[in-house]
Chain A
Amino acid sequence: MTQENSSLDKQSVKDVVIRFVGDSGDGMQLTGTQFSTTSALLGNDIATFPNYPSEIRAPQGTIYGVSGFQVHIGESAIHTPGDDVDVLVAMNPAALKVNINAVQPGKTIIVDSDSFTSKNIEKAGYKENPLITGELDSFVVIEAPITTLTREAIKDVGLNKKAMDRSKNMFALGMVYWMFTRPLNHTIEFFKKKFSNKPMVIEANIKALKAGYNFAQTLELMPSPLVVLPAKMRPGTYRIINGNTATAWGFLAAAEKSGLDLYLGSYPITPATDILHELVKHLQFGVKAFQAEDEIAGISSTIGASFAGKLAITTTSGPGLALKSEALGLAVMTELPIVVVNVQRGGPSTGLPTKTEQSDLLQALYGRNGESPAIVIAASTPENCFDYAFEASKLALEHMTPVILLTDGYIANGSAPWKIKKVEDMPDITHRQITADDVEGEFEPYSRDKDTLARPWAIPGTPGLEHRIGGLEKADITGNVSMDPRNHEHMTKLRQAKVDKVADSIPDLKVEGAQEGDLLVVGWGGTFGSMFTAVNSMHEEGKSIGLAHFNYINPMPKNVEDVFSKFKKIIVCELNNGQFHTVLNAKFPKFEYMKYNKIQGLPFSVLDLINKFNQILDNK
């Protein structure tokens, strides 16, 4: 939280990070979402990140059952959900215990003091009540008897105790609304709409919200409430969107733009399943969403649907990509357009299902038998998952090849404002379906477009173009099975060249910050927010530092060498053990690369990045 002098009577802060934490039944996700949306409506830029317990129904009050929602709001561009928490709202001792390390001394902690019973304290693993041991002395602790005050405030509504306690979160939210000068009307409207047939629920929540607000005001929880002014965002209509929804919508837009129906063949896997959840809600757009018996059937049916002429996609996470690799090879060999979305998580094996990582890069690039090139692209923010899902579809359909789209748990579950796009705003997609009229003489399924090397797409049901494809090596042009040694070498190179040619249709690599100078920071995919925040702030301080963040990984933009050669030093930062670093070393060996890696299932901390970059710059 950066303080600012302001002529207003209320004190203004540039940005603030708030984390709401409680038991999974305490409604923390709803609380966080309400705060985010209210702030967005006030014009703040925001970024959010939910934190679910890995146990689905962990025992109440235990550290395994703690659920959280973090929101970062600001008056200037916000790129991450924030590293350090300014205000922690903890609904019970376990939630405090799990989250205390994210709060620096001097920051504010709000607790429901009613929840600090000896039983709950013990369940959380505290020996004694942390509110009285003095261990929280370095923080600004606000103890509020939230449970009793909530019950008191809504006792006339007519709910039983258990139902009454469900409104505790709104009392807490009311307090935080007062602290940051937020209006209540959005949340009030939300309850009226959402529970229109449950008047008691509406009444209880509105009363609790107002009671919390008034409580904070009466007690003057802070010397004065704070204000976060609206951010300077590009004019337009916005909504808040998370990465998985944006991914799903990007495919809907691509289907509409290409004039093809969307087919999704998918098997549930964390953290990718929400894409399936989203798409099954919109079958009215002709979406065929198929929940398969396993990951392999997910992609195999996708290949079948692609053969039959759909915009066909499959969604998964790391272990699922491993299972799909043989079938991906079939898509490479049959040169059919499919998109595989890998929402990366910590690995290997089952690894860290709910945590983020970028460790499937090499799997995406090389994890198949044989020489099996595919296009690999990566989204870098929750909102641009929309654009890259669209782009993945466009590249697959125009180049007749599988595309792997990498996102990760961090951007998939994280939310940010999205300037709403319309289908009309998106670039055209020209798929390669043909009819007999397009063919002169004999139909040749493996003939090629001279620019892209893409083959034609003749779909079953088209008269006169009957043909067979398959996983055996193909003779060029005819597509007949061929075991000819020279043909195999030719086809191997052809498939590679086809993917390489995609470089002609992708944008140049952009550099943020200094365009040349001492240090080029290189990243890819979902780390953009933290890396940009770090580089940007250092560049604003006058440091000679730039950021080259990759969205296109195979093939890479054509100007990479150009960009790299303008800097004295290059550091590659990734949430893995150095996979992109390996790729760059192999592709552009004339540069020297340092690396900075974090493999904790967590995003980069901006401060850690800045420290690292400063260290390098000071070491000239």
Chain B
Amino acid sequence: MTDSNMPVYTYKDFASDQEVRWCPGCDDYVVLKSIQKALPQMGRRKEEFVFISGIGCSSRFPYYVDTYGMHGIHGRAAAIATGVKLANRELSVWVASGDGDSLAIGGNHFIHLIRRNIDINLILFNNEIYGLTKGQFSPTSLMGQKTKSSPYGNIQPPFHPGELAIGSSSRFFARVPGGNTKMQQAVFIEAEKFKGTSIVEVLQNCVIFNDGAFDKYTDRAVKDDAQLYVEHGKPMIFGKNSDKGIVLDGLKLKVVTIGEDGVTEDDILVHDAKEKDTTLHLMLARLHMPVVTGIIRAVEEKTYDELCTERIEQMKSQAKFKSVNELFASGETYEVK
């Protein structure tokens, strides 16, 4: 990354000429800003970024970022991005996708993207609702939630994206609040650095159809006590007075207060994002009070695109036929005079 010709970019370089058309107040604006600010910090050239999306409010994302981009079809962004990355590993490939796009219609591509561990970054805009189609429940909507398609309350139990991702053997899973641009930028930069599929769940407020869905975590009055920001190697301490922490109580996580019941800082779990075993990461992903933000899991393994390239190189040195002409003329051939 010591390219002396590397242009110096600002966020403006990543703003396209298209008018942004999300509803005023939508968290998508914040994420867009975070990306536009994070991209110049990634040490890459502008033309190396590709944003791919499916369908939904958040899937308009590529139109607004002045890089290469494709607004795909519903649910297929992960699959399209896979083709882009396999075609050219030098690119930094991003997927912008919603909870309906990635967890309902595109669920299959989502889990297989993660399983294969291709070096792609997927931003999951989770607003627990269908926005673009105007307010139906989504696969992350809560039980009982009243929506246009569940007027008497939702009776389909939700997915927890973190659980689904880690259950699909996610190597990198992070969660960020929709309004926190500082945390978003930091996590996006880490996601880009991470070699492998990075899933970043954004708790994205939809002001129109599901306003306040995450207030219980993000409201100014409660957020310090309702969010646990985890950092690798640091104790899981949170709270307005930094006196709360997480301990393991049997097979469950428990919130404790430091200084009460003889609990000291040493008793608090230290976050190990690089632990291969998923048990604790799954517990953290599932925890709802406090909700865990930051990078929950980051375990590097060989990526699929890397293995693909290695296989091609290996075959280049081993294969019997060095050219297609040789292949065509190989085996049992015969002359007609």
Contact = CB atoms under 8 A, between A and B. Distances in A.
Interface string B298-337: 0000000000100110011011011111011101111111
Counting chain B CB atoms within 10 Å of each CB, the highest count among A285, A422, A481 belongs to A285
Nearest to B115: A293
A296 interface: yes
Contacts of B335: 235-238
A551 B86 CA distance: 33
A464 B336 CA distance: 54
B63 interface: yes
A249 interface: yes
A300 B47 contact: no
Contacts of A284: 312, 315-316, 318-319, 321-322
Given A308-B88, A466-B46, A297 B324 contact: no
Contacts of A329: 73
B45 interface: yes
Given A249-B328, A286-B312, A304-B81, A464 B72 contact: no
Contact of B73 (A236, A294, A326, A466): A326
A253 interface: yes
A237 B329 contact: yes
B333 A420 contact: yes
> Residue among A290, A329, A466, A467 with the most chain B CB within 10 A?
A466
Contacts of B16: 468
A334 interface: yes
Contact of B47 (A37, A423, A462, A480): A462
A472 B69 CA distance: 13
Nearest to B68: A460
A contact face: mostly helix, strand, loop, or mixed = mixed
Given A249-B327, A252-B324, A461 B82 contact: no
B329 A420 contact: yes
A195 B327 CA distance: 22
B48 interface: yes
Contacts of A237: 329, 333-336
Contact of B86 (A305, A469, A480): A305
A284 B323 CA distance: 9
B301 to A, nearest CB: 19
A343 B81 CA distance: 26
12 contacts: A239-B329, A239-B331, A239-B333, A284-B322, A300-B83, A300-B109, A304-B79, A304-B83, A308-B84, A327-B76, A461-B48, A469-B71
Given A238-B334, A422-B325, 15 more contacts: A238-B333, A239-B331, A282-B327, A284-B312, A290-B308, A297-B108, A304-B80, A304-B84, A304-B87, A308-B87, A327-B73, A327-B76, A423-B323, A466-B66, A468-B69
Interface of B: 16, 18, 45-50, 52, 55, 62-63, 66-73, 76, 79-88, 90-91, 108-109, 112, 308, 311-312, 315-316, 318-319, 321-325, 327-329, 331-337
Which 10 A-B residue pairings sit nearest by Cβ, starting from the closest?
A304-B83, A470-B71, A301-B83, A308-B87, A300-B79, A284-B319, A305-B83, A460-B68, A297-B79, A293-B112
